[in-house]
């Protein structure tokens, strides 16, 4: 399971979010969701590429080649030991913390622009975060063949402390988050497609 223990509670976030959205429905057009998904997926590829470069540098320091095959071998060696952020010098560790914070701020900014209310913004944040997270791991798997197994260990975050878990855990939370948004979403009905009865009910509500 994930460490520290409270990280495991994140699996409940999609379920509580779905209940939250039932009190005030969320409405996004398919275009909005697809555009946000494209941004998140592209961002995930960028993040995954950064990690490939980072592992190439660390692998070179450990005696591995800087080719993709060498980086893949280094990634396999990481799976055989408990991952520790101590592999980075303290100065680079601070840079990594700032990069992670910037990632969250970017996703939050998209959510703030996407919806006028708290429910919609939270839904869009989960939507983009989940797709970014899945794409990140897909990028690493396509380029390096890592993770080789869903039980491989990964460092998820460094803020406020180090989060460590098997790869299947963040993928599960992300998949549930995407499903929760899709199920809770209420399609936006355009005025020109509404019947007179629909307009009357909308005015009354």
Render pLDDT for 103-133 as a digit per residue (tens, 0 to 9): 999 999 999 998 888 999 999 999 999 999 9
Name the token pair of 98.
Answer: 């700032």
- Locus of tokens 């855990």: 169
Question: Which of 89, 116, 107, 86 has its CA nearest to residue 39?
Answer: 107
User: What is the C-alpha to C-alpha distance for residues 10 and 16, in angstroms, rounded to an integer?
Assistant: 10
* Interval 167-181 mean pLDDT: 96
pTM of this structure = 0.83
> How does residue 78 score in pLDDT terms, banded at 50, 70 and 90?
low
**pLDDT at residue 188 tops 80:** no
Q: Are 167 and 78 in contact (CB under 8 A)?
A: no
DSSP string, the chain: --BSGGGGGGGGHHHHHHHHHHHS-B---HHHHHHHHHHHHHHHHHHHHHHHHHHHHHHHHTT--SSHHHHHHHHHHHHTS---GGGS-HHHHHHHHHHHHHHHHHHHHHHHHH-SSHHHHHHHHHHHHHHHHHHHHHHHHHHH---SSTT-EEEEE-SSS-EEEETHHHHHHHHHHHHHHHHHB-PPPPGGG--HHHHHHHHH-
Which of 158 and 177 is assigned the larger pLDDT? 177
Name the token pair of 51.
Answer: 């990690």
Question: Which of 105, 108, 97, 109 has its CA nearest to residue 157?
Answer: 97
Which of 118 and 67 is assigned the larger pLDDT? 118
User: What is the C-alpha to C-alpha distance for residues 204 and 139, in angstroms, rounded to an integer?
Assistant: 49
* pLDDT (0 to 100) of residue 189: 55
**pLDDT at residue 153 tops 80:** yes
* pLDDT (0 to 100) of residue 119: 92
**pLDDT at residue 58 tops 60:** yes
Which of 92 and 110 is assigned the larger pLDDT? 110
* pLDDT (0 to 100) of residue 88: 61
User: What is the C-alpha to C-alpha distance for residues 90 and 160, in angstroms, rounded to an integer?
Assistant: 15
- Residue 154: count other Cβ atoms within 10 Å of its Cβ: 19
Cis previous bond, 134, omega within 30 = no
> How does residue 56 score in pLDDT terms, banded at 50, 70 and 90?
confident
């Amino acid at each position: 399971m994930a460490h520290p223990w409270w990280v495991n509670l994140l699996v409940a976030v999609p379920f509580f979010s779905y209940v939250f959205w039932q009190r005030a429905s969320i409405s996004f057009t398919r275009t909005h969701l697809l555009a946000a998904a494209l941004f998140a997926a592209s961002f995930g590829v960028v993040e995954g590429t950064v990690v490939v470069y980072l592992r190439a540098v660390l692998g070179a320091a450990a005696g591995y080649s800087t080719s993709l095959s060498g980086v893949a071998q280094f990634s396999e060696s990481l799976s055989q030991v408990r991952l520790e952020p101590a592999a980075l010098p303290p100065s680079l560790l601070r840079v990594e913390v700032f990069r992670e914070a910037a990632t969250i701020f970017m996703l939050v900014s998209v959510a703030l622009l996407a919806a006028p209310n708290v429910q919609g913004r939270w839904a869009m944040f989960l939507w983009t975060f989940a797709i970014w997270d899945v794409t990140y791991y897909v990028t690493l798997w396509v380029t390096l063949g890592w993770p080789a197994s869903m039980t491989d260990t990964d460092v998820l975050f460094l803020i406020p402390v180090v989060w460590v878990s098997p790869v299947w855990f963040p993928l599960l939370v992300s998949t549930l988050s995407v499903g929760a948004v899709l199920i809770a979403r209420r399609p936006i009905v355009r005025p020109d497609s509404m019947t007179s009865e629909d307009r009357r009910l909308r005015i009354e509500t």
